[in-house]
């Protein structure tokens, strides 16, 4: 078990599901954790919580800048937050696709681009972007979600090759189905 006692970690989607568990695990391993979510999470122990709607990219960037200013750095950014809504490509509802892409891809991209310069200057840092196993095993009616997670995967894997020599490590996680709030809604 890795010790994170000298790390400042930011976890999006920290109010529930994978984000909540990751935030708690990082605290247990000694990290100073800031959780970000659109929902409140008053019962998260030892996690400083910031409410932010990631679809507001300026607010998300400002939140990350404020955290970095307060702590002098962000050592680990975990982009876990995500949304889904079953939408068929036949529905031709571009607004739903755009919202899902904004939260699931553009927000993690924005967050990554916000923290990487500081990590590169320190030659140390980690970004975890949570994708989905459905990228590799697509299902019908989830094209917006899968497209957003596929874009996140491609960006992360490519940027990882570029940033590793600079001491910054990007990782993509492909979780399978989990019985979280979002998973329950998908059933």
> Catalytic residue numbers?
131, 145, 149
Identify the residue whose tokens are 């095993």.
137
What is the side-by-side order of every strand in the sheet holding 76-79?
Answer: 47-51, 32-37, 8-12, 76-79, 125-130, 168-173
- The DSSP secondary structure of 120-133, one letter per residue, reads HHHT-EEEEEE--G
Identify the residue whose tokens are 């994978």.
18
The tokens describing 141, both together, are 């009616």
Contacts of 85 (CB under 8 A, 6+ apart): 96, 100, 144, 145
Q: Are 10 and 78 in contact (CB under 8 A)?
A: yes
Determine what percent of the chain falls in helix, strand and coil, rounding each to the nearest 5.
Answer: 50, 20, 35
């Amino acid at each position: 078990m890795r010790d994170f006692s000298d790390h400042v970690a930011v976890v999006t989607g920290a109010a529930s599901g994978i984000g909540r568990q990751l935030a708690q695990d990082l605290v247990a391993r000694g990290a100073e954790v800031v959780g970000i979510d659109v929902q409140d999470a008053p019962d998260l122990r030892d996690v400083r919580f910031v409410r932010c709607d990631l679809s507001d990219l300026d607010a998300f960037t400002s939140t990350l800048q404020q955290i970095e200013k307060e702590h002098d750095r962000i050592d680990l950014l975990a982009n876990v937050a995500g949304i889904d809504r079953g939408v068929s490509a036949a529905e031709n509802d571009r607004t739903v696709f755009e919202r899902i892409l904004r939260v699931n891809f553009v927000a993690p991209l924005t967050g990554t681009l916000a923290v990487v310069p500081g990590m590169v200057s320190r030659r140390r840092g980690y970004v975890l972007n949570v994708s989905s196993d459905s990228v590799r095993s697509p299902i019908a009616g989830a094209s917006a979600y899968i497209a957003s997670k596929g874009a996140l995967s491609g960006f992360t894997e490519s940027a990882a090759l570029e940033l590793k020599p600079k001491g910054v490590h990007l990782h993509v996680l492909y979780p399978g189905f989990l019985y979280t709030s979002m998973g329950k809604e998908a059933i």
